[in-house]
Amino acid sequence: MNNAVVVHTEGLTKVYGRLVAVDGISFEVREGELFGLLGPNGAGKTTTIRILTGLSRPTAGKAFVLGHDVRTEIVQAKRYIGVVPEQSNVYDELTVLGNLLFMGRLYGVPRGERRKRAEELVEILRLSDRKKSLARTISRGMKRALTIACALMHKPCLLFLDEPTVGLDVAAARSLRALIQELHHQGITVFLTTHYLDEADLLCERAAILVRGRIVAIGSPAELKGMVQGEPVIVVRFDKPVANLEKILASRVPESGMVALNSQEVRIVGGDPAQVLVALTSFAQETGLRIVAVNTVQPTLEEAFLKITGLSPVLMAQEKGK
């Protein structure tokens, strides 16, 4: 990996009053990489993006984007970066094309190229049928696509995506993930934040896990998973749904980590497999349940996250209303 460093931070810190939102983080993102910042609500992901895009000033530490210091030269860097915030913020009173043409003008795209580029983007993002519709009349998924198109209008080489699939239905989220991969294959460096670990596992080449403003682990998804390699992972499925299955089992095998897959199925990470099986059998007998299946599997990024942070990915997703 000899590509140039496009994002570099050293001891980056942001304090709001008494709250330390970002606490001395240091990391690098290289040209052409698809890098993810993972973490629960309030971990400091959005604050980090706001600092790197010039919307917030760091309290301490250094940050460079495309070689420009974010404190003093962020305007120069902004010419080459695109930002997709968590909340779509297109202009409802403008049409889909109108929004794109405005962004082109704002970023100084030459007049002759603006319409061509806008037409290209509505085609790529499958907005052609609604290009003359007011933005307020299109669906949430389309608005998200339009927000991304706006960020791409000036052909940035570095794209920041803050929780890109939050609030989208399954089909729209899948389509958006495919688009992110496509942009990455075109050579755009992508820096995204997400709390959906399956999304990070699918998309990211490298990821940093951020908890309470601090990076607690950084590496490729395989490296992060490697941190729980050697730990037994058991998936058990019962014949009937059980309310609070994850909590009940966690109390019976406290040394293991629990990830509820649904109300009948749970992944159990770590602990002594023999004791886990005894606990599962006695739980099934006491509650009149039948164990339908027990499998041992490879750890996922969720398990790695659970192990590294001690936070439940399920609760994290619920916080965001998944």
Residues within the interface to another protein (CB under 8 A): 53-57, 75-76, 78-79, 83, 85, 87, 89-91, 93-94, 102-103, 105-108, 150
Helix (H, G, I), strand (E, B) or coil at 93: coil
Minimal distance, residue 307 CB to another protein, in Å: 36
At a CB cut-off of 8 Å and minimum separation 6, what does 290 contact?
238, 239, 240, 284
> Which contiguous run of DSSP H or E holds residue 22?
strand 19-30
- Contact between 65 and 74 under an 8 Å Cβ cutoff? The reply is yes
Q: How far is the CB of 160 from another protein (least distance, A)?
A: 9
Q: Return the number of the residue (87 or 220) whose C-beta is nearest another protein.
A: 87
The distance of closest approach from Cβ of residue 98 to another protein in the complex, given in angstroms and rounded to an integer, is: 8
Nearer to another protein, 40 or 82 (CB): 82
- The least distance separating another protein from the CB of residue 105, rounded to whole angstroms, comes to 4
CB 268, min distance to another protein, A:
41
Cα separation, 285 vs 252, whole angstroms: 14
Taking the complex as a whole, the smallest distance from the CB of residue 201 to another protein amounts, in Å, to: 29
Nearer to another protein, 151 or 211 (CB): 151
Alpha-carbon dihedral sign for residues 116, 119, 123, 124: positive
Whichever of 14 and 307 has its CB closer to another protein, that residue is: 14
| Rounded least distance, CB 68 to another protein, Å | 11
C-alpha to C-alpha distances, 84 to 93, 147, 151, 280, nearest whole angstrom = 19, 6, 6, 45
Query: What is the DSSP code (8-state) at residue 41?
Result: T
Residues 223-236 as b or e (16 or more Cβ within 10 Å = b): ebbebbeeebbbeb
Query: Could you tell me which residues come within 8 angstroms of residue 67 by beta carbon, excluding any fewer than 6 positions away?
Result: 77
Q: How far is the CB of 136 from another protein (least distance, A)?
A: 11
Percentages helix, strand, coil for the chain (3-state, rounded to 5) are 40, 25, 35
Q: Among candidates 205, 220, 260, 255, which has minimal Cα distance to 236? A: 260
Residue 102 makes CB contacts below 8 A (sequence gap 6+) with 91, 94
52 membership: H or E segment, kind and range: helix 45-52
Task: Tell me how far, at minimum, the Cβ of 107 lies from another protein, in Å.
Answer: 6
The smaller minimum CB distance to another protein, of residues 27 and 91, is found at 91
| CB nearer to another protein: pick between 21 and 245 | 21
* Nearer of residues 105 and 290 to another protein, judged by Cβ: 105
**Which lies closer to another protein via its Cβ, residue 71 or residue 185?**
71
* Nearest residue (CB) to another protein, 103 versus 279: 103
Using alpha carbons, select from 85, 318, 304 the residue that is nearest to residue 209.
Answer: 304
Cα diameter, the chain: 74
